[in-house]
A = this chain, B = another copy of it.
Amino acid sequence: MSRQVHSIRINEDGPREGFQIESASIPTADKIELIDALTEAGLQEIQIASFVNPKKVPSMSDAEAVVAGVKMRPGVKYTALYMNPRGLERAIATGRLSIEGIGFSVCASEAFLARNENATPAMRKRRKREMIDIAGKFGVAPANSGNVSAAFGCNFQGDIGLDALMGVIESVHEFAAEYGCKIERIGLSDTMAWATPDKIRRSLDAIYNTYSGIEVSLHLHDTRGMAMANAFAGIDMGVREFDTSIGGLGGCPFAAHKGAAGNLCTEDFAFMCEEMGHQTGLDLDRLIEAARLAERIVGHPLPGKLKDGGSLSSLRKAIQAR
C-alpha cells in the first residue's frame, strides 16, 4: 500500500464563520488578537470578516475596524465574505483585503436559498451579475472558480443526490461560460452537514471523471460528527484544499440547529494531515495556542480535541528527553 505525500492547503474561516455565530458581543481587539495569532501559526489564507447587514448580523458590525487593526503579513491572503454589491464595496473600501475575482457560486437547495438569503435562484443569479459588474468597475475580473453550497443536502429540502449535485456543478460551468470563464476550481460546501465519507467519495469520483483537471476544495461542518471522516475521504480522493475553523468555531446561524457544532477544526485537521505525512506548512503548537485563545475569547468550550488532548509531537519530544 503506497503512501503518497501531498501539500494540503488550509484556509482559515474561524474569525469570520466563528464570530458570526457567537451571540456574545466579542471585543474588536479580541478578534484582532486571534487573527494575528493565526497569522503567526503560518496560515496563508484567513477569512477575517463578513460584510453583511449589521442589523441582521450585529456581531459583524465591526468588520471595518477588524480589517484595519490586523497585523498583515506579506504574502498572506486576508479575505472577507460579501454576499451583495454593498458588501463588496465595503470590502474594497478597506483597501487592505485580498479581493479575489468573483466566483460563480450556486446553492444546491432552493429551500435554503429562500431561507438564508430570501432569494430565488434567479434573484441570486441577478445579484451575482450585479456583483460581477461592480467588481469589474474596480478592476476585479470574475474568477475561474465556483462554489456549491448545501452541496450534499439541506435541512429544508432534504438530500441532494449525486445527479442533482452534478446538475448544479454543470450550471456553475454554464454561468462562468457566459463571462468567458472556465471553471478550474470548485468548492463544495456541506453547509448543513449532510455529507458522509461515502457521499464525498462518490461525488469527487464523478466530478473528477466529468471535469478533467478540475480542482475541488471542501468546506465541512461537524454538526453530525462526520467532518474529520469526510475530510479524510476528501484527501484520499485527491482534494488538496480545505476550509477549516480554529478550535472548531462556527456553525450556520440559519440552519435551525440549536446545538450546531462548528466547522472542521483547523488544528485537529492539520494534526491528521501532518501525522499522515502531508505538509500543511502550519505550526501545530501555535495553532493549539490560537485554539485556546479562541476558547477564552468566546467564553465557552469549543469542540476541537487537540487543544485538550495534546499533539503527539510534544509527547514524542517529552519521551525522547527522558
Contact = CB atoms under 8 A, between A and B. Distances in A.
Interface of A: 1, 3, 153, 155-159, 193-194, 196-198, 201-202, 205, 222-226, 228-229, 231-233, 257-261, 265, 268, 271-272, 275-277, 301, 303-312, 315-316, 319-320
Given A224-B309, A312-B153, A312-B224, A198 B158 contact: no
Contacts of A306: 224-225
A159 to B, nearest CB: 7
5 contacts: A197-B232, A223-B308, A223-B309, A225-B228, A225-B268
A198 B276 contact: yes
Nearest to A268: B225
Nearest to A306: B224
A1 B257 contact: no
B261 A309 contact: yes
A157 B261 contact: no
A3 B276 CA distance: 26
Contact of A158 (B196, B202, B319): B319
Contacts of A3: 198, 202
A261 B305 contact: yes
Nearest to A316: B158
Given A303-B303, A306-B224, A229 B1 contact: no
Given A224-B268, A272-B226, A194 B312 contact: yes
B275 A196 contact: yes
A272 B229 contact: yes
A100 to B, nearest CB: 30
B308 A259 contact: yes
Contacts of A223: 305, 308-309
Nearest to A261: B305
A65 to B, nearest CB: 33
Contact of A272 (B197, B222, B261): B197
Nearest to A275: B196
A228 B200 CA distance: 15
B308 A257 contact: yes
Contact of A308 (B201, B258, B275, B276): B258
A198 B261 contact: no
Given A229-B232, A257-B310, A261-B309, 15 more contacts: A1-B202, A156-B319, A158-B320, A159-B312, A159-B316, A197-B272, A223-B308, A224-B311, A225-B265, A225-B271, A225-B304, A225-B306, A225-B309, A226-B268, A229-B272
A76 to B, nearest CB: 25
B228 A309 contact: no
A108 B293 CA distance: 36
A305 B315 CA distance: 28
